[in-house]
Amino acid sequence: MSEKTKGQLLAEKLTYKSENTFDKIEKSEEDKAHSYSEGYKSFLDKAKTERKAVTLAVSMAKDNGFVEYTHKTKLEVGGKYYYNNRGKSLFLFKVGSEDIENGIRIAAAHIDSPRLDLKPRPVYEDAEMGFLKTHYYGGIKKYQWTATPLALHGSVILRDNSVVDITIGEDENDPVFYINDLPPHLAQTQNQKTLALGVEGESLNLLAGSKPYPDKEVADKIKLNILSILNEKYGICEADLISAELSAVPALKARDCGLDRSMIAAYGHDDRVCAYPALTAIFDDSCTGKHTVMTILADKEETGSDGNTGMKSAILRDLIESIAKELGGDPVVVRANSKCLSADVNVAFDPNYPEVFEKRNSAFINHGVVISKYTGARGKSGTSDASAEFLGYIRSIFEDRGVCWQIAELGKIDQGGGGTVAAYIANLNIDVIDLGVPVLSMHAPAEVIAKLDVYMAHKAILALFNA
Ligand code: MN
Ligand code: MN
């Protein structure tokens, strides 16, 4: 083997390269990432909506010794608590031995994903078919949601305020729903339209039946038959659908993608691919840092984080205040010294569409978790922009703890852009930086991520918790 030249050695020392994680880790680490991904896939299948994700996370938390917290709960060092915010967002925290005024170490991910919500009066029939009208939630490319099997998830609140939970289409013996699209034979006009207008919001109607109720005397027999099935199965009537949250999501299970099984294709990686690592990090036996740590599973990120279950609400500030006071600290000081990873996905470079990326500052699958110093659009508008000091701190704890990471922006300047919950947490005077997993086909009914990257997200969050 020939010795390296002076220039080669200098290049090694001075230049920065983003590398494929497969080239950097041992086989044993790769095996760990693969078995970690099995747990993640099962989480994906059971947590397709924020309500399901909270229910599942609460049961995981209980299994890991967490107890329910109210603002009045007495806290003790070493205690593990969860705060369930209306069944749609969740805060888990572990009280450390360190003075609470030295801040909380936080990982915040979101558990809502783009989908199709039912309208308040969804059921109708037309041309002897029964449909459910939807109003899309989050940023979707509407044409992607037609001609694919869909499942329905959610809760209906009855007149007596009792709750009926509904899941249809996940069991392989369940029926599914479907959105009709035009065949190519009749799509000449549709094909001339832009992608944005080819399928419009008001055509996203779920096909829900075609069999008439057997009574010649009634009108709208197909609608009545659908209502009668819902009534028989769930005890609900049409008016109950007004006080309901029902969402149509892809009726697909998470699957390994690629002959080498290095990736996962699934619905809702954005942002379960960060929510799951934020959970597994706080549950990890090696999560033994001195600071108080917190995992946040937020709702409403995809619609702008407004509302009392979104990250713009007062809940995080209130919780920090309750925790600080109970532990004898000043909440203002606690916030000033807290550090947070805003754990959300980023766009992975896609060689099918290189024109929207700036390759030197793009995220690549299998290159580890992506740090983004800033997000936003049109000249970084809407970003909290982490300080160089905080990025420097994060970089050093990742390198000390074997986290494979990369730095990236979301696509080319002025091609679009996007935001995360980072700004809302940073506005509370907390140091925040965006960190996440690169995703291919983000917001599509099936998105793709690499197994090594979700595993590195776990390691990254654990690194902050233990720092
Ligand atoms: Mn997201
Ligand atoms: Mn998103």
Position 378 scores a pLDDT of 87
Q: What residues form DSSP beta bridges with 257?
A: 263
For the chain, the maximum distance between any two Cα atoms, rounded to a whole number of angstroms, is 93
Ligand 2: centre distance to CA 260 (Å) = 27
Q: Which amino acid is at 117?
A: D
Position 418 scores a pLDDT of 83
Ligand 1: centre distance to CA 269 (Å) = 9
For residue range 407-420, list pLDDT tens digits in order.
Answer: 999 888 988 888 89
Helical packing angle, 388-400 and 451-466, nearest 10°: 110
Ligand 1: centre distance to CA 302 (Å) = 7
- And the tokens for 421? 């919950």
Helices (H), 64-171: none
Ligand 1: centre distance to CA 318 (Å) = 24
- 35 close to 93: Cβ distance less than 8 angstroms: no
Q: Which ligand is nearest to the CA of 343?
A: 1
In terms of DSSP bridges, do strands 129-137 and 115-126 run parallel, antiparallel, or are they unpaired?
Answer: antiparallel
Ligand 1: centre distance to CA 154 (Å) = 21
Average pLDDT over residues 237-252: 98
Ligand 2: centre distance to CA 445 (Å) = 12
CA 143 to chain centre: 22
Average pLDDT over residues 314-331: 98
Backbone angles phi, psi at 110, to 5 degrees: -115, 155
Ligand 1: centre distance to CA 414 (Å) = 19
Share of the chain above pLDDT 70, in %: 100
Ligand 1: centre distance to CA 418 (Å) = 9
Ligand 1: centre distance to CA 212 (Å) = 42
Ligand 2: centre distance to CA 72 (Å) = 34
Ligand 1: centre distance to CA 223 (Å) = 36
Average pLDDT over residues 426-454: 98
Helical packing angle, 27-46 and 451-466, nearest 10°: 90
Question: How would residue 2 be classed by pLDDT, with cut points 50, 70 and 90?
Answer: confident
Distance CA 441, CA 350 (A): 9
Ligand 2: centre distance to CA 114 (Å) = 7
Average pLDDT over residues 61-65: 98
- And the tokens for 289? 């840092």
Ligand 2: centre distance to CA 258 (Å) = 24
To the nearest 10°, report the CA torsion of 350, 356, 362, 365: -10
Ligand 1: centre distance to CA 284 (Å) = 24
Distance CA 247, CA 377 (A): 29
Ligand 2: centre distance to CA 375 (Å) = 13
Position 1 scores a pLDDT of 63
Distance CA 113, CA 217 (A): 43
Distance CA 296, CA 109 (A): 6
Position 415 scores a pLDDT of 87
Contacts of 121 (CB under 8 A, 6+ apart): 133, 238, 241, 242
Position 417 scores a pLDDT of 82
For residue range 282-309, list pLDDT tens digits in order.
Answer: 999 999 999 999 999 999 999 999 999 9
Ligand 1: centre distance to CA 412 (Å) = 18
Ligand 1: centre distance to CA 420 (Å) = 6
